[in-house]
Amino acid sequence: MNIRALRFRVLIAALVLLAAPLAPCVAQQVPPQTAPTVHPIDRIVAVVGKTAILATELDVAIEEWRARERPLPSDSNAAKLEVLDDLINIEILLQKARDFNITVTDDELAPEVDAYIRQVRDRSFQGDETAFRAALQTSEFKTLEGFRARQMDAQRKTRLQQLAIDSLRAHGRFPTVPVSEQELRTAFEQFRKEQPDLGAGITFRQIIMKVAPSDQERTRARGLADSLLAALRAGAAFDSVARAFSQDTENAARGGDLGYFRRGSMWPQFEVAAFTLQPGLLSGVVQTPDGYHIIRVDRVRPAEVSARHILIRERRDSADVARTREQVARIGAALRAGASFDSLAALYHDPLEDRVISDPYPIDSLPVAYREKLSQLTANQVSEPIDLVYDDAAPKVVVVQLLTRTETSAPTYDRIRERLLERTREARSLERLVATLRKEVYVDIRLQKLVRIGQ
């Protein structure tokens, strides 16, 4: 089991309010008692290079900080200055992206934005599209299209900042800042404050076996992939074939479009093909643990490629699952009889899965199947086979040996020190990079002047 966290940062750009020009009027046509029309002026609170940051943008950013419960000074002027400083840093990175001619298209952003919108709908409205749209009507977004446009803009800014940082790193401009032990201790204390109170946990080790298809099914899946590749080479449209045959359900509707990705985000076999192909060319049939892929690279830029793929999976039936469950049961019996866990794991364990969970894992966060099988186990006892079923991957069967039970599953400093070091070093290095970039760009903070004159 891998524990991953996803943070989706929303940056909101405000519209500039333009005062409409006054129409010429004749004095006698305007009654004396008519009040003059007042046109709002969106004041400039800072200038970065040739770009102005407006008061409305600052107000929206402050509300966004509060919505995410980011700490702010109690003094309102100090709070404004802190948020404005963040907006200035963001604008500097966006300008660097422009300097490097970095662009991010809607097509690149669509998969992630659409997945985020589905997540909001499914989690907050139990997948009810009608209720979701009704809620949007009473929000500032008004429509689903408005909500999507805002998320596209926010995600574009986030992606451009990251690409600018990557380009600066590639040009040798990203510093490496040392981090002291005291800084790590401070970071750990802050990390603990931000974490919820974690209850009882367990440590365990496991042997997970992937359910293997029959030889006949392997032949069928590979044959289909070969025939589709032949059709593509004969001139069939990749998008159409992907929509009709690809079993990557998330991307098939988009013609197999995966958008841009970097090394380390795909299976190694997939990346070898994707990062060696020239744009427009087809790979051969590439086998990964997911199945058989046909890959076409559309665009290439530093450290990233944009590609499409067609995925053909091997099917598993109930007989395949039963056969694997019987084998896992025999492995469990061997463990109970005193067989070496390491020896059995070397023979049978899926190398893509964790073998040992040495940090106490919160019992309440375990998958339901695990909780049911492990609830009554004591130290060193072995579970019965547990079926692991996935929506878009081959099923697996696991046997678990419980190691310890603890009163709390809160992480300790020693266990997460290396992760803290990496995160803190990256943050300090980024701070120094931005500080250096600010010296190279014209920055005029006008907020203090507006505060002094009461505006």
Dihedrals phi, psi of 444, to nearest 5 degrees: -125, 110
**What integer pLDDT is reported at residue 454 of this predicted model?**
45
**Percent residues over pLDDT 70 in the chain:** 89
Residue 237 has pLDDT above 60, yes or no: yes
Coil, helix or strand at residue 258: strand
Average pLDDT over every residue of 136-140 = 85
Average pLDDT over every residue of 362-389 = 91
**What integer pLDDT is reported at residue 40 of this predicted model?**
53
**What integer pLDDT is reported at residue 64 of this predicted model?**
85
Task: Indicate the average pLDDT of the chain.
Answer: 85
Indicate the residue type of 166. Answer: D
pLDDT band of 275, cuts 50, 70, 90: very high
Half-sphere exposure (Cβ direction) of 378: Cα atoms closer than 13 Å: 0
What are the strands, taking DSSP E only, across 30-96?
44-48, 51-54
Average pLDDT over every residue of 409-415 = 84
Cα–Cα distance for residue pair 313/395, rounded to 1 Å? 12
Q: Which residues contact 302 (CB under 8 A, 6 or more apart)?
A: 166, 167, 170
Angle between helices 144-170 and 129-137 (to 10 degrees): 90
Query: Closest Cα to residue 441, out of 50, 43, 13, 44?
Result: 50
Cα–Cα distance for residue pair 262/125, rounded to 1 Å? 33
pLDDT band of 7, cuts 50, 70, 90: very low
**What integer pLDDT is reported at residue 264 of this predicted model?**
86
**What integer pLDDT is reported at residue 304 of this predicted model?**
86
Cα–Cα distance for residue pair 88/103, rounded to 1 Å? 20
Indicate the pairing of strand 51-54 with strand 201-210: unpaired
**What integer pLDDT is reported at residue 177 of this predicted model?**
92
Domains, the chain, ordered by start: 39-176+425-452 (1.10.4030.10), 196-212+317-406 (3.10.50.40), 215-312 (3.10.50.40)
Per the CB < 8 A criterion, the answer to whether 58 and 14 are in contact is no
Residue 268 has pLDDT above 50, yes or no: yes
Indicate the residue type of 197. Answer: D
Cα–Cα distance for residue pair 243/245, rounded to 1 Å? 6
The 10s digit of each residue's pLDDT in 295-353 is: 999 998 877 899 999 999 999 999 999 999 999 999 999 999 999 999 999 999 998 88
Per the CB < 8 A criterion, the answer to whether 353 and 1 are in contact is yes
